[in-house]
């Protein structure tokens, strides 16, 4: 039977290789939105259960497999250190060349650990200060912010999420409040802190009470009651620099005010506001160091200013008052404003002086006896206002009536009539805009215009077109006069049809799309019907700036992006009148089909997607988006993008435990996607052995431990038999199962305690107990020993990977050169490791290289070298899978069995 099976297997392989076409399955492999470089994609023939091809993703995360038609399981192995787990995509049916995107998502790591930042806030007398906002604002790359508030006892507590960036700027803020003995508002900028653990930070803030007396500089200096005093203060408190607003206080019947509280240990500015025609304001600076009550008295100068009385009336057609006209003058001290009442009258009191830049305008439109869209008058004359001053303005206005028609004699019902007009009255110039609407007979009246030398009327007709004409110029306008019988005639223009069809995916018509272009008379547009066809009648000329716009209103059933627009500024359509012009548009749309499963190949229903996409074809650039596509009960989805580039966003159902993900990708052709969402991992890793010291000297040690799954690396240590409160921490973010950490700069003959922690990608952690070691008296004088290798473990036309092992942690370097050239290049790294792996890149095909490996231990012993090893790069990449033979079982018991086999190559 063994011989028969072997023969049959050979026959199948020969037939597959000789008769079946090879198809290219290719695309990107990503992990949580990031291309995976160095991931392995292996296709397993589901019938033969043999490897049909292996691809290692390149620098862009792209893989390519040449496969015969059939069903394959795709084994995806992320590179070492990736947060995504290895997975198998089941039963991928290959029938043609296909762009197939593999999208892995890391497991939800769960919440990060937290620390607390706590303390108390009191004033300089020890009284608690409540309702103070304490903020830790991240600095540098730490774009985070954490806040807390002090309670009635002055205590605050902030929970801070622990990440790799833990540097913050400390700030305090008190919003506007009514708390006694505090400023109404203050904020403080403190020091920059790097948090290494939970900590206590107590804060003492000094405040200053300011009070005084306000009197009038007159015989007997009578006190001023009801004067408003305000105060601003700034100062320091430890590392804090603070500013504050104490608010305002009114003087009592005796002219006394206070206390007003400001921030102390600095200075404060105290001011009294002026009261027109009573007294001038004043301010002074108060020193608030040392902290203690301060006095700021004021003796104010009387204000005997005599205000000017400015008034007038604004009228329009027939002397009718214009209500709501806003007047404004400008002076060195600011602006003065007034508004006309129902009688067109205004009045305002102003300090005596020079005023200029008069403007008179209608802010809201709708005037009844003047231009009803807007009216604006003004000049740049200087007015010297003293005593009583009257500025009237009677604006010359005429009223126009007429008729709007379409030639030869069709009344233009509901036509819109507009006019812009201007006039000068003395040194004041006015401009206005008016509008009226024709009745069912095309007649209009009540169009008020300014009575200048002339005015041009325009009109638009709400039907038919295009037209020429529709305008008229009216001259000899007289103030308060009327003009009637104005004829506005629209003459129809000869138009010619432009038509075409808009098609999308697979040539299917796109209905409900707007086609728009710019020509001699502006924009023209038309919509596509169910057959994707549009027709527009346009004037002769050149049309450009073509735009196609589609808004699907959220529908996900159409074979195009839900909302998109396409435009071209290079395409021109010439309309000459020689016949119908046909302009078709074929949109560059591609289909994306995909499946969402768990890492156990279970379909996931309810994953929603959002895509923004762009592309171009024939000078037509398109961009759009699709939102609301949801995977069905089989995990399947389908959506449409432009041939170009697309960004995909995937959102699992709320509460599912899966993480959302996104990634951007070229979309040049129809493609398929496989999204793998791992089930939440709630199982903590385990240590496969207690941490042990594998390198030991007087000033350095190396500690090794293993875990049963890929985890990151963290080691805390410090002098003594127990860990100190603030131990030294060493970390490595890569996810590995074999962990080696080297401690250097240690003291001779000193006991140290350490503890290791390893956390998997889901956030589950394992921590060892506290272990001690004592550094030696003598330095390590023995160089590391290379116990295996060096061996070439990967060979390609432009790359060589070399591996070896040492008996103690040591550095990993390779000196290499083109054989015999003498031009030596060194590659590798100085991190201590037992297993050494160095990838040489940028090599030339069919070239022999001479390699020498070198390793030195943490105490500088070495380097130990091995070589030279001569290696010749191949001409092409080896894509032939190894042959498997001698499949056998060993060590069979009632509960376990070892399966072994041989391969034809390493």
For residue range 204-249, what is the model confidence (pLDDT) as tens digits?
A: 999 999 999 999 987 668 999 999 999 999 999 999 999 999 999 9
What number does CATH give the domain 114-204?
Answer: 2.60.40.4130
Token representation of residue 614: 């762009």
Is the confidence at residue 350, as pLDDT, over 60? Answer: yes
pLDDT tens, 790-834?
A: 999 888 899 999 999 998 899 999 999 999 898 999 999 888 888
CA separation for the pair 242, 631 (Å, rounded): 55
Work out the pLDDT band at 21, boundaries 50, 70, 90: confident
Say what the pLDDT of residue 258 is.
Answer: 93
Percentage of the residues of the chain whose pLDDT score is greater than 90: 71
Say what the pLDDT of residue 115 is.
Answer: 87
State the average pLDDT over residues 846-854. Answer: 95
CB 625, CB 563: distance < 8 Å: yes
What number does CATH give the domain 687-774?
Answer: 2.60.40.10
CB 739, CB 760: distance < 8 Å: no
Work out the pLDDT band at 5, boundaries 50, 70, 90: very low
Question: How many Cα atoms within 13 Å fall on the side-chain side of residue 293?
Answer: 6
Say what the pLDDT of residue 833 is.
Answer: 87
Work out the pLDDT band at 764, boundaries 50, 70, 90: confident
From 3.30.70.100, 3.90.850.10, 2.40.110.10, 2.60.40.180, which CATH number describes the 397-492 domain? Answer: 2.60.40.180
Question: H-helix or E-strand containing 3?
Answer: helix 2-19
Token representation of residue 243: 């500013």
Is the confidence at residue 326, as pLDDT, over 80? Answer: yes
Question: H-helix or E-strand containing 691?
Answer: strand 687-696
Is the confidence at residue 555, as pLDDT, over 50? Answer: no
| Closest alpha carbon to 75 in 94, 111, 51, 59 | 51
CB burial of 295-307 (b: ≥16 within 10 Å; e: otherwise) equals ebebebeeeeeee
Is the confidence at residue 3, as pLDDT, over 70? Answer: no
Query: SS3 helix, strand, coil % of the chain, rounded to 5?
Result: 5, 60, 40
* Number of other residues whose CB lies within 10 A of the CB of residue 440: 8
Work out the pLDDT band at 599, boundaries 50, 70, 90: confident
Is the confidence at residue 470, as pLDDT, over 90? Answer: yes
- Tell me the CATH architecture of domain 308-368+376-394: Sandwich (2.60)
Say what the pLDDT of residue 176 is.
Answer: 73
DSSP character for 364?
A: S
C-alpha to C-alpha distances, 383 to 349, 387, 430, 548, 625, nearest whole angstrom? 14, 12, 18, 57, 60
Global model pTM greater than 0.85: no
Report which of residues 177 and 275 the model is more confident about.
275
| Closest alpha carbon to 421 in 403, 392, 399, 394 | 399
No. of helices (H) and no. of strands (E), the chain = 1, 71
CA separation for the pair 504, 516 (Å, rounded): 18
CB burial of 475-502 (b: ≥16 within 10 Å; e: otherwise) equals eebebbeebeebebbbebeebbebbbbb
Is the confidence at residue 879, as pLDDT, over 80? Answer: no
Calculate Rg over the CA atoms of the chain.
Answer: 43
CA separation for the pair 88, 73 (Å, rounded): 6
DSSP string, 512-576: S-EEEEEETTEEEEEE--TTSEEEEEE-SEEEEEEEEEEE-TT--SSSS-SEEEEEESS--EEE-
Token representation of residue 146: 């954490």
Is the confidence at residue 652, as pLDDT, over 90? Answer: yes
CB 254, CB 223: distance < 8 Å: yes
The burial of 167, by beta-carbon neighbours within 10 Å (0-12 exposed, 13-18 middle, 19 or more buried), is given as middle
Report which of residues 162 and 435 the model is more confident about.
435
∠507-511-516 over CA atoms, to 5°? 100
Say what the pLDDT of residue 753 is.
Answer: 96
Lowest mean pLDDT among 24-28, 333-337, 810-814: 333-337
Q: Where are the domains of the chain?
A: 22-108+591-608+630-680, 114-204, 207-272+284-293, 308-368+376-394, 397-492, 496-586, 687-774, 788-872
Lowest mean pLDDT among 18-32, 465-479, 517-531: 18-32
As a whole number, the mean pLDDT across the chain is 90
C-alpha to C-alpha distances, 569 to 546, 550, 564, nearest whole angstrom? 7, 18, 17
Phi, psi of 327 (to 5 degrees): -105, 145
CB 279, CB 216: distance < 8 Å: yes
pLDDT tens, 558-579?
A: 788 999 999 998 888 999 888 8
Is the confidence at residue 14, as pLDDT, over 50? Answer: no
Say what the pLDDT of residue 363 is.
Answer: 80
Say what the pLDDT of residue 904 is.
Answer: 67
* Number of other residues whose CB lies within 10 A of the CB of residue 661: 21
CB 552, CB 562: distance < 8 Å: yes
| Closest alpha carbon to 103 in 835, 599, 534, 552 | 599
Say what the pLDDT of residue 892 is.
Answer: 52
CB 339, CB 323: distance < 8 Å: no
DSSP string, 766-797: EE---EEEE--SSPP-PPP-EEEEEEEEEEET
Mode of pairing for the β-strands spanning 687-696 and 496-503: unpaired
Report which of residues 680 and 794 the model is more confident about.
794
Say what the pLDDT of residue 16 is.
Answer: 30
Mode of pairing for the β-strands spanning 496-503 and 585-586: parallel
Lowest mean pLDDT among 110-119, 512-521, 554-563: 554-563
Same fold for the pair 22-108+591-608+630-680 and 496-586: yes
Mode of pairing for the β-strands spanning 308-315 and 393-394: parallel
Mode of pairing for the β-strands spanning 388-390 and 308-315: parallel
Say what the pLDDT of residue 767 is.
Answer: 95
Say what the pLDDT of residue 366 is.
Answer: 92
Say what the pLDDT of residue 899 is.
Answer: 65
Contacts with 661 (C-beta within 8 Å, 6 or more apart), sequence order: 32, 33, 103, 105, 649, 650, 675
What number does CATH give the domain 788-872?
Answer: 2.60.40.10
Evaluate whether the domain defined by 22-108+591-608+630-680 bears CATH number 3.10.20.30. no
Is the confidence at residue 396, as pLDDT, over 50? Answer: yes
pLDDT tens, 255-302?
A: 999 999 999 999 999 999 998 888 999 999 999 998 789 999 999 998
Report which of residues 8 and 340 the model is more confident about.
340
Is the confidence at residue 332, as pLDDT, over 90? Answer: no
What number does CATH give the domain 496-586?
Answer: 2.60.40.10
Say what the pLDDT of residue 2 is.
Answer: 31
CB 904, CB 885: distance < 8 Å: yes
Contacts with 563 (C-beta within 8 Å, 6 or more apart), sequence order: 550, 551, 552, 624, 625, 626
C-alpha to C-alpha distances, 536 to 313, 517, 550, 572, 665, nearest whole angstrom? 54, 10, 17, 16, 38
State the average pLDDT over residues 643-665. Answer: 91
């Amino acid at each position: 039977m063994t011989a028969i099976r072997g023969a049959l297997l050979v026959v199948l392989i020969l037939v597959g290789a000789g008769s079946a076409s090879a198809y290219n399955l290719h695309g990107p492999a990503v992990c949580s939105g990031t291309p995976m470089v160095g991931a392995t994609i292996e296709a397993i023939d589901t019938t033969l259960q043999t490897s049909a091809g292996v691809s290692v993703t390149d620098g862009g995360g792209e893989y390519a497999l040449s496969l015969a038609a059939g069903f394959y399981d795709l084994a995806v192995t992320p590179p070492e250190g990736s947060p995504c787990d290895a997975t198998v995509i089941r039963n991928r049916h290959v029938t043609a060349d296909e762009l197939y995107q593999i999208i892995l998502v890391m497991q939800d790591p769960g919440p990060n650990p937290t620390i607390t930042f706590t303390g108390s806030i009191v004033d300089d007398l020890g009284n608690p200060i409540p309702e103070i906002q304490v903020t830790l604002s991240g600095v540098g790359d730490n774009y985070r912010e954490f806040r807390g508030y002090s309670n009635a006892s002055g205590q605050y507590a902030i929970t801070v999420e622990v990440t790799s960036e833990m540097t913050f700027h400390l700030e305090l803020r008190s919003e506007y409040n009514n708390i006694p003995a505090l400023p109404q508002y203050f904020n403080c900028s403190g020091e920059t802190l790097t948090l290494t653990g939970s900590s206590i930070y107590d804060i003492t803030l000094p405040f200053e009470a300011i009070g005084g007396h306000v009197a009038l500089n007159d015989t007997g200096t009578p006190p001023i009651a009801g004067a408003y005093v305000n105060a601003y203060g700034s100062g320091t408190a430890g590392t804090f620099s603070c500013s504050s607003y104490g608010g305002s206080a009114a003087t009592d019947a005796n002219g006394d005010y206070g206390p007003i509280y400001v921030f102390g240990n600095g200075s404060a500015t105290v001011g009294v506001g002026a009261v027109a025609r009573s007294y001038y304001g004043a301010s002074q600076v108060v020193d608030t160091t040392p902290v203690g009550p301060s006095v700021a008295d004021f003796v104010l100068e009387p204000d005997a200013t005599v205000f000017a009385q400015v008034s007038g009336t604004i009228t329009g057609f027939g002397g009718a008052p214009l209500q709501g006209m806003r007047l404004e003058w400008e002076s060195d001290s600011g602006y003065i404003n007034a508004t006309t009442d129902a009688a067109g009258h205004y009045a305002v009191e102003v300090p005596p002086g020079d005023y200029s830049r008069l403007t008179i305008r209608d802010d809201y439109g709708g005037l009844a006896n003047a231009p009803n869209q807007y009216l604006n008058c003004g000049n740049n004359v200087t007015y010297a206002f003293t005593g009583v001053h009257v500025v009237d303005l009677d604006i010359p206005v005429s009223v126009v009536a007429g008729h709007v028609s379409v030639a030869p004699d069709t009344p233009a019902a509901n036509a819109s009539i507009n006019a812009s007009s201007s006039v000068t009255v003395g040194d004041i110039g006015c401009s206005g805009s008016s509008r009226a609407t024709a009745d069912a007979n095309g007649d209009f009246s009540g169009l008020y215009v300014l009575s200048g030398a002339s005015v041009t009327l325009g009109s638009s007709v709400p039907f038919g077109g295009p037209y020429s004409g529709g305008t008229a110029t009216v001259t000899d306008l007289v103030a308060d006069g009327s003009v009637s019988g104005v004829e506005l005639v629209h003459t129809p223009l000869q138009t010619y049809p432009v038509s075409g069809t808009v098609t999308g995916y697979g040539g299917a018509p796109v209905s409900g799309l707007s086609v728009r272009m710019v020509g001699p008379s502006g924009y023209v547009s038309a919509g596509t019907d169910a057959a994707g066809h549009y027709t527009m009648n346009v004037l002769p000329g050149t049309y450009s700036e073509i735009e196609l716009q589609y808004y699907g209103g959220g529908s996900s059933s159409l074979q195009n992006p839900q909302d998109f627009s396409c435009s071209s500024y290079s395409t021109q359509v010439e309309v000459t009148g020689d016949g119908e012009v046909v302009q078709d548009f074929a949109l560059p749309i591609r289909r994306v089909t995909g499946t969402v499963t768990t890492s156990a190949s279970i379909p996931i229903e309810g994953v929603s997607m959002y895509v923004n996409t762009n592309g171009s074809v024939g000078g037509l650039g398109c961009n759009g988006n699709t939102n609301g596509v949801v995977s069905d009960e089989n995990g399947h989805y389908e959506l449409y993008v432009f041939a170009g580039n697309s960004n995909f966003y995937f959102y699992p159902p709320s509460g599912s435990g899966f993480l959302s993900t996104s990634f951007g990708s070229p979309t040049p052709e129809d493609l398929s996607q496989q999204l793998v969402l791992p089930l939440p991992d709630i199982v903590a890793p385990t240590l496969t052995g207690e941490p042990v010291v594998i390198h030991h000297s007087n000033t350095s040690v190396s500690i090794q431990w293993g875990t049963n799954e890929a985890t990151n690396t963290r080691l805390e240590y410090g002098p003594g038999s127990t860990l100190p409160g603030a131990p030294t921490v060493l970390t490595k973010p890569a996810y590995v199962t074999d962990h080696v950490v080297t401690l250097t700069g240690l003291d001779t003959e000193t006991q140290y305690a350490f503890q290791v922690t390893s956390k998997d990608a889901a956030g589950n952690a394992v921590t060892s107990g506290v272990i001690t070691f004592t550094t030696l008296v003598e330095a390590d004088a023995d160089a590391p020993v290379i116990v295996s290798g060096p061996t070439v473990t990967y060979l390609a036309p432009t790359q060589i990977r070399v591996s070896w092992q040492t008996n103690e942690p040591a550095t990993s370097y390779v000196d290499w050169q083109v054989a015999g050239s003498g031009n030596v290049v060194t590659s590798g790294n100085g991190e201590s490791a037992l297993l050494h792996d160095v990838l040489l890149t940028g090599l030339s095909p069919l070239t022999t290289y001479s390699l020498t490996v070198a390793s030195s231990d943490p105490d500088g012993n070495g380097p130990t070298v091995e070589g030279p090893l001569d290696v010749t790069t191949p001409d092409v990449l080896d894509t032939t899978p190894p042959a498997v033979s001698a499949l056998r079982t060993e060590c069979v018991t009632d509960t376990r069995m070892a399966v072994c086999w041989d391969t034809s190559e390493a």
